[in-house]
Chains A and B, each alone.
Chain A
Amino acid sequence: GNSVTQMEGPVTLSEEAFLTINCTYTATGYPSLFWYVQYPGEGLQLLLKATKADDKGSNKGFEATYRKETTSFHLEKGSVQVSDSAVYFCALRHGYSTLTFGKGTMLLVSP
């Protein structure tokens, strides 16, 4: 079946540090890949997505590239801010609309 594996958190960084959150997936065929962000006390918001191999999704300084050869979709940001502190979920969609989520990675950014 489909599955998503994310690095465990929390990831603790100082402001302006470089961020990488690893995500790998298992799926047949060609899933679409997503990163969602959950700020404290809120629901999930779509951060970025990629729908085919070698696509790069980007938003708010975050980027992730769909790598089919390594079945990965790592999230990166060059310079994090305190306001980026949140839980980040990698997800895939295969077929109609059902999403399969990773377990989430908490990011804590200190000033």
Chain B
Amino acid sequence: EAQVTQNPRYLITVTGKKLTVTCSQNMNHEYMSWYRQDPGLGLRQIYYSMNVEVTDKGDVPEGYKVSRKEKRNFPLILESPSPNQTSLYFCASSRGTGLGGGEQFFGPGTRLTVL
């Protein structure tokens, strides 16, 4: 089954404790992206990657890091989480085919609470 998986689904942590949210897709997609969803703000892009070893900042990259060492994986790293990073996080992937390109497939989400 074609899918995007994220782990963990739920996480409660404390300020300053480094954490990683994993994202994996089994569709051989070139493009992957991280979003955060906050009430009244919709989805905002954090980082994206057009292919292995190619990453770029989205609209709200501060406080986050990503890496793309393998095509299927795109982990999101919070080196020193703060309460304002409490949010619902989504990973997505798509074929990178330029204008009019492929549908983005979303993972189920990770609900993060930073105390």
Contact = CB atoms under 8 A, between A and B. Distances in A.
Contacts of B33: 97-99
A46 B108 contact: no
Interface in B84-107: 90, 92, 94, 96, 98-104, 106-107
A84 to B, nearest CB: 19
Q: Chain A binding site: helix, strand, loop or mixed by DSSP?
A: loop
B103 A46 contact: yes
A89 interface: yes
A28 B58 CA distance: 19
Interface of A: 30, 32, 36, 42-46, 49, 51-52, 89, 93, 95-99, 101-104
In the A-B complex, the 10 residue pairs with the smallest Cβ-Cβ separation, listed nearest first, are A43-B106, A103-B42, A101-B43, A97-B31, A44-B106, A51-B100, A101-B42, A46-B103, A43-B108, A104-B42
